[in-house]
Structure 1
Amino acid sequence: MKREENGNPQPVGLIPWAGAMAARVGLDWFLLALLGMIVLAYLWPELGVDREPLSLGDVANYGVSLIFFFYGLRLSPEKLKVGLSNWKLHVVVQLSTFILFPLLILPLYTLFRDTPQELLWLGVFYLAALPSTVSSSVVMVSIAGGNIPGAIFNASISSLMGIFITPLWMGLFLTSSAAGFDMGSVMGKLVLQVLLPVVLGILLHRYWGAFAERNKGRLRVFDQVIILLIVFTSFSESFARRMFSGYSALDILILGGAMIGLFFLVYGIIYGITKLLGFNRENQITAIFCGSKKSLVHGTVMSKVLFPGGNMVGIILLPIMIYHALQLLASSVIAQAEARRKAVD
């Protein structure tokens, strides 16, 4: 085993070839670990539910605040100011993220209301209300040859806006449900657990921002570990309460097909809008990749605040986990194709 300058181990022999193929289709250790957490939760749900000798759920709660603190620490106010000028791009991305997605899913509510699949629909709507992802959007835009500063700006702004917009969308269906959703309580928790750490991180950016940027790889691993912990505890609670007993393998397959269909539907709509608005190639790529993605990080960490009951969180998170994997697969293929087309041009 040898180690490159970035600190990532690079095995020898046939393994690099297999690793390269897996990376090309979006299969990394994190996706495999997500599946592992679900299997572990199914086999040993008590570990994620029991509060003795240590409550993993409480550890995850503290981890949520640290994730958003480190996120704020890496946000540069100067870079955000510079990105304000490209307003057409920003409007398309944010409207796609917070308006187009929910409006596409909203009409399906009448089909699934008062059915066994209503909770799955709620999970899909939660996915639709989430902000765009940050890291993978920027990476894919970079590979495809898009507007990288525009991608960074929109991903960052989307994450901040999602702190408020996501719970507002979810409040339409949770305030009168049995989920115990109280908008005032939720907003209070969001301020203390999410917004306050972000603001504190931004204020300390001038002092510790360079340190956070240098260690962004380690911080990303920390984010992923907390997400895995949240996924494990959430699915443990759901399995312990037999929340999945009413769903078949066919239901999950249909959900997967619906998620990939949703991705390409949004992709096509944004492509058409950018054509009508006369976007150049770089801005079009950025609009498509940033506007069609959803953040698994925000989906998992905000679920700890929005769904305090815990027993249904596993089902709520299932659509975003499936969408996360499929969006990586699809967007990586598209980004590589765009890169080859740019090279030919």
Structure 2
Amino acid sequence: MMRALRSVLEPFILALLGTVVLASLLPARGSFAVWAGYAADAGIVLLFFLHGAKLSREAIWAGARNWRLHLAVFAVTFMLFPLLGLGFAALPFVPEVLAAGLLFLTLLPSTVQSSIAFTAIARGNVAAAVCSASFSNLIGILVTPALVALLMRVGGGGGVSLASVEAILLQLLLPFVAGHLLRPLIGGFIGRHKALLGIVDRGSILLVVYTAFGAAVVEGLWRRVSGGDLALLIILCLALLALILALTWALGRVMHLPREDAIVLLFCGSKKSLASGVPMAGVLFPAAQVGVVLLPIMLFHQFQLIACAIIARRYAEQADDEKKTNA
């Protein structure tokens, strides 16, 4: 429970909440909003460049042979999750202003860092987790926008526009590929300065959140989302998380996966990436819509950290008990 509390009080989570409050009280306006938007775009490019540079080919090849597990994670992330999103968004008591964000949340790729970290804590197959989470983020650059085009109406249109496709290529895919290709040259620097790059990585997310929420506040975000709507969204995010955790656990049992691989499916399959969701929303949705679209993923991100911290610790305790019994 203390680990869960520390997850809630993690500096980045507090900074994220503080950024939302700042954007609500002092949103960017006028020329400052224009320059903040340029800075946010630059932050998105830098964010995906770093994601590409941090992607290790060696780690991917180490776990790539476990194809049944990786297909299961892919199916949960980009098939089962979206089906649940469609179901939740179609509930008659869910306001339209929340439905789009809930659906977008379910279309995102899995997390990388926290999926691997929780798998390691739970004594799972870390190499396979690296492969599954990295593949999810890599393919998500293309799959998530495709799912948005297929399942959502963006900006009142029928799908992703040509301008959005161009932005995806220039702001997301091109920096990602460039970073990965330059990894042989800059991989050592990244390895030596993980803390500094982590600040840059998270700072980019905070900047995009500030501009997105600021634009939404100027357009009347908090007049559109009431306290009751926010309470309903919290309940829906918790229900979605509980359901996907139960389904990934059950799927691991049905597939007769070894304990180490079942842990990978549970953690990689149940996660959604805030780091990918924030810049993708900034590219795919109109500025005034981004803030409300991001609300569900910001809530879900915190809930998944708390739940997975508790579950990972429980798995670790079970592994330690089994080790003592067999000793």
Cα root mean square deviation, aligned: 2.0
Counterpart position of 1:88: 68
> Structure 1 261/107 Cα, relative in aligned 2: closer, same or farther at 3 Å?
closer
Which residue of 2 is the match for residue 66 of structure 1? 46
- Contact 1:132 / 1:158 at 8 angstroms: preserved in 2? yes
- 1:287 matches 2:265: yes
**Aligned residue identity for 2:43:** G
| TM norm structure 2 | 0.92
| Structure ranking higher in helix proportion | 2
Matched-pair contact (CA < 8 Å) for 2:60–2:127: no
Q: 1:40 aligns with which of 22, 25, 28?
A: 22
Measured after TM superposition, the shift of residue 240 of structure 1 is 1.0
- Give the drift of 1:49: 3.1
Gaps of 5+ in 2: 323-327
- The residue that corresponds to 2:300 in the other structure is 323
Any residues of structure 2 matched to 1:128-207 within 5 Å, and which? 128-175=106-153, 177-178=155-156, 182-207=160-185
Give the C-alpha shift of residue 56 in structure 1: 1.3
The percent of aligned pairs where both chains have the same amino acid is 37
1:342 maps onto 2:313 in alignment: no
- CA drift of 1:39 comes to 1.1
Query: Following superposition of structure 1 onto structure 2, how do residues 87-126 of structure 1 map, counting pairs within 5 Å?
Result: 87-111=67-91, 117-126=95-104
CA–CA distance in structure 1, aligned partners of residues 98 and 190 of structure 2? 37
| C-alpha distance in structure 1 between counterparts of 2:85 and 2:227, whole Å | 22
Structure 1 partner of 2:279: 301
Using the TM superposition, give the Cα deviation of residue 243 of structure 1 relative to its aligned residue in structure 2, in angstroms.
2.5
CA deviation profile, 1:110-167 (whole Å, cap 9, x unmatched): 445xx88112111011100000011111111111111101111111110011111111
* 1-structure distance, mates of 2:72, 2:56: 23
Runs of 5+ consecutive residues of structure 1 not aligned to the other structure: 1-18
Q: Is the 8 A contact 1:26 1:325 kept in 2?
A: yes
Task: Provide the residue aligned with 1:256 in structure 2.
Answer: 234
Instruction: Name the SS of the counterpart of 2:124 in structure 1.
Output: coil
Shift of 1:181: 5.3
Q: CA deviation at 1:103?
A: 0.5
Partner of 1:10: none
Q: Is the 8 A contact 1:181 1:306 kept in 2?
A: no
Report SS of the residue matched to 1:40: helix
Moved more, 241-250 or 266-275: 241-250
Distance 1:165 1:53 in 2: 30
Task: Say if 2:118 and 2:309, in contact at 8 Å, map to a contact too.
Answer: yes
TM-score, normalised with respect to structure 1: 0.88
